[in-house]
Amino acid sequence: MQPVKNDSNHIQDSDISKIVFIPDSVMYVLKNTCFDCHSNNTIYPWYSNVQPVGWLMARHIRKGREELNFSEFGSYSTRRQLSKLNGITNSINDDIMPLSSYKLMHKNSILSTYEKEMLIKWVQQASDSLSVKK
């Protein structure tokens, strides 16, 4: 029995890329570090079919999407979008994200100091552009 997968390459109308500007360099990092758990465009590795790893992974993805789903960002109220962006900054600053277990299996998800600064700068710009809306 396998957990249900949702790994389409389709970009929804509510995708964050349609809501705020994302430079290519930031998008690259988001894809490698965040999207597997925090979007509907998960890239499932071969071992996702092996239990119990598959179940653990499914749990991470489910909880990640519940917490923040970049694919559905446009469906959040502006208020909630701003809260989530702030959450991203805090998670990066506090080294909570990406998860240690994820970093173990995805070496290229580990954020360099430069990448952290870049993401936080982008979050600030995105928040500023959304605050004007509010």
- Give the footprint of another protein on this chain (CB under 8 A): 77, 79-80, 82-83, 86-87, 90, 94
Closest CB 102 distance from another protein, rounded Å:
19
Distance between CA 7 and CA 25 in Å, rounded? Answer: 23
Residue closer to another protein by CB (options 29, 88) is 88
For another protein, the closer CB: 18 or 80: 80
Amino acid at 8: S
Question: Contact at 8 Å (CB) between 116 and 92?
Answer: yes
By C-beta, is 44 or 76 nearer to another protein? 76
The count of other CB atoms within 10 Å of the CB of residue 67 is 13
Least Å distance between CB 127 and another protein? 11
Minimum distance from CB of 75 to another protein (Å)?
A: 11
- Per DSSP, 11 falls in state P
Helix 24-33 / helix 113-133 crossing angle, nearest 10 deg:
110
- CA of residue 15 relative to chain centroid, distance: 11
Choice between 32 and 126, CB closer to another protein: 126
Residue bearing tokens 């499914």? 58
Q: How far is the CB of 41 from another protein (least distance, A)?
A: 23
